[in-house]
Structure formats: C-alpha cells, structure tokens
C-alpha cells in the first residue's frame, strides 16, 4: 500500500508544481518539473524533502526544487532555500558534503575535426597526469601554514603559483575566493585529509571531459562569449574532496547536538542546523568558505594540469591551444545575498545544494565582462549525451533566488545502476557513440552509465520554459576521464 503523503502536489502551470502551505510549514514548496520529468521525482523522497525544508525556522519565499532534483541528505539535491538572517538557520545538509562541488568550462582554439582522430591519445595523457579515484593524492603537498593560505585565497593561490592568469579570476564565481573563510575553524583531521588532495579529480560523478560545441541556440550571446560551432571545450567537475567532506561531517555532528539546546523543532534530524546569529554558525561559515576556496583552488590547478598535458600530448604551443576559461560556478554552497522578498530588498542566506547561480544581465555581482549578458551557467549532463551552456535570466531572480539546475540529476542509485548494467560493456557502448572513456574503480563506468541520469535536455527545457535561464549552446562529449 502506498503511504499517504502529508501534503498535496498541485500543478500551477506546465513547469511548476506547488506543495501548498499546510500544518507547520512556514512557506509553500515549489518544484520545477513537467509531465516528462515529474514521474522521476515521484519515485523517490525528494518532494518529501522539499516539504520538510519548508518547516525550517526563518525560511522565506518558498522551499524550491529544480527539475534535476533527487533524494539527498536532509535537503534534496537540486534544492534551494533562503533564510532570514535574524530568525533563520544554516544547515550543512543544505550545502552538502562536497562543499563547492562545481564545474568550470574552458574553450580552446581547436575544432572537432582536429581533435577527434587523436582523442584516445589526449584522454590517455590526461588520465596519466591527473590523479583520480577514491582517496587519490596529488603532487602538491602543503604544510599547515601554506595550506591555510590556500583556504584564504582560493583560486588566487594557484594563480600566484603560476597556475593560471590574473584574468582567470574574473571568470570565476566570486573571483574564486570567499573572504569569510576562516582557517582557524578547520580541524587538524580535515587538514590531514586535504593536505595532499589539491590537483586531484576525486571519484563518483566527478569528471574531466573533452567535447565540442554541437549547436548554438543564442548566436548573439555565443558570439560575445567567443563560442563557435565545432569548437573543442574542456569541462572539469569536482569539489573540495575529503577536506570538504570532513568539514561537513564535523559540523553536522555538532549541530545535531545543538538543535535541542537551541529549541529548534525539525521534521527530520538530517536537517540539523543552527541559528544564523549563533557562534556555531559563524564557525561553520568560516570552515565552509575555507572548503569552498579549497575547491576553487583545486579546479584552477586541474585546469593548469590539463593545459600542460594537452600541450605535451599533441605537441602544440600555448598560442595554438588558446586555452581560455569561460566560467567556474559553485553547486553546493550557502551565501549571504541580497534578494527581493515580498517586494522588499533583503539580505538572506541562500542554500544551493545541487543548484547553481543564474544571475541575469545587470546584476551588480557580475564581473564587467558578463554585466551585459548575465554570466554563463554550466549544466553538465551524462557522459554519453550532452552538456549545456545557459545564461541567467530575470525569472531566476524573481522566484528562485537567482538559481537554476546544476546538471542532469541522478535517476538511479549506484547500486541500481550496477544491477541494470550487469553483463554490459559500458566502455564499448560509449566508444560506439564516439566517446572514449578512461576511469578508475572496477564499477565506476557502470555506476555512471548514461541511463543512471535524467536526460539533461529535458531538464534544461524546464528551466528555460520557467524563465530561469536560456540555452546558449549544447556540448557533445568526445572523451571523458572519470573518477
């Protein structure tokens, strides 16, 4: 017998479904989906989690889920929620274990026809140079003092070491450095886990992918961003590795204990949190932002390693390669931002867990180079179909706190993906569609098989119809390194 839900899911329009406020909910829930993606959402407990988040103290607007939503720890992955600074809370479950898991996209001066014949050679070179997989360690090993510099400076630290250009920083969310980072709030255990993981890809759904721009949707914006059909790109998806995991784990444990003392009533213990005006919240922000800066530095270092491997493998010069960072965005973060709530400008704490910023043209937080268009929004899909470049639109600010989806969204658990792909050669299937993979881990390709994810094109259609972001270009993969 199907368990009766304590809420109803009501259709507002083609791409919006509401959980009306009822009982002890403080705000309604809002799920962006359509008839094609709704059945996937109804199969797991992600809508239940949207409902639960709506009960948290100080939440404003709505408890929101993007069309790539799926079940996560406490908050759904694909969830967005904003909290009043005086009455609200911060919850590590609303950020996630992989703090500042994010994605960056680099464009090159090469075309598909030039790279496709040598894709194996190139992917093999990247796989050999970049450590990946569970517990992978890199060639950068830092003492605590220098490690703390990484936590304070983020991507700028890598640039100062010669791994990138100053101009890169303008193309990273918040210039790749969150000033609220406080290394003193980071434990020795977290340091031990992270001290030699800079410049590593990690495991799970993290990847490094070479693709090409298959289709342009917005020629004006694409031209301003230097995007052309057939242009080869590099996408890097990773985060703060074991360091960020440890930070999240430690603060979750502390907040589980503090909930009772603060008198917080929660519908799910996984929503453990603390009031934003508490000393514990200040400590968490210091450590979370430090982990976010670690992730920014990590992606900057990986970009440098990719550039070097590419130049060596194909015997090309930097001038020929024309490696250019388009943008780098966070996926798992909580930030103090100014938004319009009930018609008034208000500072709130926005949790984005498996969601990304989609700030439109004219937003004051945008770097000058993207002020006239809105910033690039990078939406990776699975390794067999496609990824997208979008641009933020005003609708994201109007009702989603400047947010949109972050990817395709997982459809199958890792266990179920392995069960369904038993006896199949995923490597051969990918090669049959001109995608060359390298990976670590005996079951990685089966866990990450394309059908383990929603169709990213359907997800992107929903956010475009909802007015959150518009399609600029679609990228087709040619080769991938999986953790």
DSSP state of 234: E
Residue 458: both structure tokens together: 């359907």
Place of tokens 């075309």: 111
- Residue 90 phi/psi, 5-degree rounding, is -120, 140
Residue of 382, 448, 388 whose CA lies nearest to 413: 448
Largest CA distance in the chain: 65
Q: Judge contact between 75 and 351, C-beta under 8 A.
A: yes
HSE, side-chain direction, 13 A CA sphere, residue 227: 30
**Residues in Cβ contact with 216 at an 8 Å cutoff, skipping those fewer than 6 apart:** 222, 227, 228, 229, 472, 473
Cα–Cα distance measured from residue 218 to residue 436, given in angstroms and rounded to the nearest whole number? 29
Q: How far apart are CA 144 and CA 243, in angstroms?
A: 13
CA 103 to chain centre: 6
Name residue, tokens 């989690």: 49
Q: In what helix (H) or strand (E) does residue 436 lie, and over which residues does it extend?
A: strand 436-439
In the three-class reduction of DSSP (H, G, I as helix; E, B as strand; rest coil), residue 218 is classed as coil
CA distances from 73 to 33, 59, 76, 94, 406 (A): 21, 18, 7, 8, 17
55, 206, 375, 406: the catalytic one is 406
The pair phi, psi for residue 21, each rounded to 5°, is -65, 130
Label residues 219-254 b or e (16+ Cβ within 10 Å = b).
Answer: eebbeebebeeebbbbbbbbbbbbbbbbbbebbbee
261 included as an active-site residue: no
Burial 273-302 (b: 16+ CB within 10 A, else e): bbbbebebbbbbbbbbbbbbbbbbbbbbbb
Other Cβ atoms less than 10 A from the Cβ of 176: the count is: 27
Residues belonging to the active site: 406
């Amino acid at each position: 017998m199907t368990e009766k839900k304590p809420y109803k899911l009501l259709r507002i329009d083609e791409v919006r479904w509401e959980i009306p406020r009822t009982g002890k909910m403080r705000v309604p829930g809002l799920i962006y989906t359509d008839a094609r993606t709704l059945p996937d959402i109804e199969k797991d407990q992600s809508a239940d989690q949207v409902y639960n988040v709506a009960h948290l103290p100080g939440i404003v607007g709505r408890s929101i889920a993007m069309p790539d939503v799926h079940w996560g720890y406490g908050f759904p992955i694909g969830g967005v929620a904003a909290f009043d600074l005086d009455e609200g809370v911060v919850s590590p479950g609303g950020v996630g274990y992989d703090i500042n898991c994010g994605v960056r996209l680099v464009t090159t001066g090469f075309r598909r026809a030039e790279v496709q014949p040598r894709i194996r050679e190139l992917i093999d070179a990247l796989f050999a140079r970049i450590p990946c997989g569970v517990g992978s360690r890199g060639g950068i090993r830092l003492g605590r003092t220098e490690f703390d510099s990484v936590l304070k400076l983020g991507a700028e630290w890598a640039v100062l070491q010669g791994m990138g250009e100053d101009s890169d920083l303008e193309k990273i969310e918040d210039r790749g450095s969150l000033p609220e980072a406080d290394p003193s709030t980071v434990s020795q255990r977290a340091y031990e886990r992270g001290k030699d993981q800079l410049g590593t890809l990690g495991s799970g759904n993290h990847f490094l992918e070479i693709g090409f721009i298959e289709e342009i949707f917005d020629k004006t914006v694409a031209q301003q961003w230097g995007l052309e059909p057939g242009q080869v790109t590099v996408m890097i998806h990773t985060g703060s590795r074991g360091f960020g995991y440890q930070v999240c784990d430690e603060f979750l444990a502390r907040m589980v204990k503090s909930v009772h003392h603060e008198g917080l009533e929660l519908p799910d213990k996984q929503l453990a949190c603390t009031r934003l005006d508490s000393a514990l919240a200040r400590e968490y922000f210091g450590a979370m932002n430090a982990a976010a800066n670690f992730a920014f530095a990590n992606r900057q270092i990986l970009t440098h390693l990719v550039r070097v491997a590419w130049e060596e493998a194909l015997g090309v010069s930097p001038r020929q390669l024309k490696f250019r960072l388009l943008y780098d965005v966070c996926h798992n973060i909580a930030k103090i931002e100014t938004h319009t709530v009930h018609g008034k400008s208000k500072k709130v704490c926005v949790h984005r867990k498996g969601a990304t910023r989609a700030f439109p043209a004219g937003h004051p937080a945008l770097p000058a180079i993207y002020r006239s268009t809105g910033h690039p929004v990078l939406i990776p899909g699975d390794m067999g179909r496609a990824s997208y470049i979008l641009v933020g639109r005003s609708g994201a600010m109007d009702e989603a706190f400047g947010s949109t989806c972050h990817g395709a969204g997982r459809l199958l658990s890792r266990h179920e993906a392995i069960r369904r792909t038993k006896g199949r050669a995923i490597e051969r299937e990918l090669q049959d569609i001109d995608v060359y993979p390298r990976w670590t881990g005996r079951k990685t390709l089966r866990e990450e098989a394309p059908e383990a994810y929603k169709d990213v094109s359907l997800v992107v259609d929903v956010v475009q119809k909802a007015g959150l972001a518009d399609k600029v270009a679609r990228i087709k993969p040619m080769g991938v390194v999986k953790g």
